[in-house]
Amino acid sequence: MRALIFCGLLLASVAGWGQTMVASVEPLAKLLRSLYGPSVTVQTLLDANQNPHHLALSPRQVLMVQRADLVVWLGSQAEPPLVPLIARRPGHSLALLSLLGVIRLHGDGHHEGGVQGAQGATLNTHLWLSPHNMTLLARALAARYPDGLQPGQPAAFVQALAARQVQWRQQLEPWAKRPWLSYHNPWGYLTGPLGLAEPLVVSRQLGAGPGSQRFVSLAEQVRKQQVQCAIEEPEARAGVMTKLCPDCRRQRLDPLGRDRAQVQYLPWVDSLVDGFAACLGGSEAADRH
């Protein structure tokens, strides 16, 4: 009998050893998968069909936040709907925006681009696209929540990310000054460090189209700058992009990584950089590859 009781307690302790980590968006989940081993279950809060710009959580998602051992999110300025849920949580949470030294880009998404540290401007919430920010987050996670880390982490991830950033910049260098078109501009955290020109941006807001005057102005800029590359996010209005640049190479890329679920962070960014190279370089990029 004592042996049976002991075995039961042992099994219960093993079952309880596993942790559940919930990431608010898929790219943060990709980082968690890169760092933690099989004893940790990583879940993404947002479903693939949800628009993060107009977030409404289901009862299932609310329960997911409440039950998680750790919630990793962007922070109150980037994800206001999560603030009351995080505040009521009994468990731990870590906000990327709470980390010292995190890069914040601001701006309305126009061709002038964001201004780091600007006051009163809208925050560009796509913080996970910054290699610097993800390095900070990896180190913070390892320091505060070491249980379940894979051997050698986060040092292996940080070293690989630094090396990859050099490779990405070299890959895109031949087309660094080429103009490109984007529906809105989530990409600055990635394309800035990699040396790409800022894009022509169609709309200040992802869900809105350009006014008639702006459309005419954009079409003229597309013609004058001989734009040949259009990056289309899933929510972009493809018809507007086609009218603005009918001869553009079109590359569909998701800054939220929803089209590549369960992929770890570095291979996912590899695919983004490959997409930019294919769009900007066309047949030249294919020949180099």
Render pLDDT for 249-267 as a digit per residue (tens, 0 to 9): 999 999 999 988 888 999 9
pLDDT at 114 over 90: no
Nearest-angstrom CA–CA distance, 149 and 32: 9
pLDDT, position 107: 67
pLDDT at 7 over 70: no
Strand partners, 181: 200, 230
pLDDT in tens, 121-144: 789 999 999 999 999 999 999 999
Q: Which of these, 85, 123, 118, 94, lies nearest to 21 by C-alpha position?
A: 94
pLDDT in tens, 188-223: 999 999 999 999 999 876 666 777 888 899 999 999
> Could you tell me how many residues make up the chain?
289
Helix or strand holding residue 165 (H, E): helix 155-172
Q: What's the pTM value of the predicted model, to 2 decimals?
A: 0.87
Residue type, 200: L
pLDDT at 165 over 70: yes
Q: Which of these, 158, 213, 161, 214, lies nearest to 184 by C-alpha position?
A: 214
Quickly count: other Cβ atoms within 10 Å of residue 5's Cβ. 9
Q: Which of these, 41, 75, 277, lies nearest to 148 by C-alpha position?
A: 41
Burial label, 236 (beta-carbon count in 10 A; 0-12, 13-18, 19+): buried
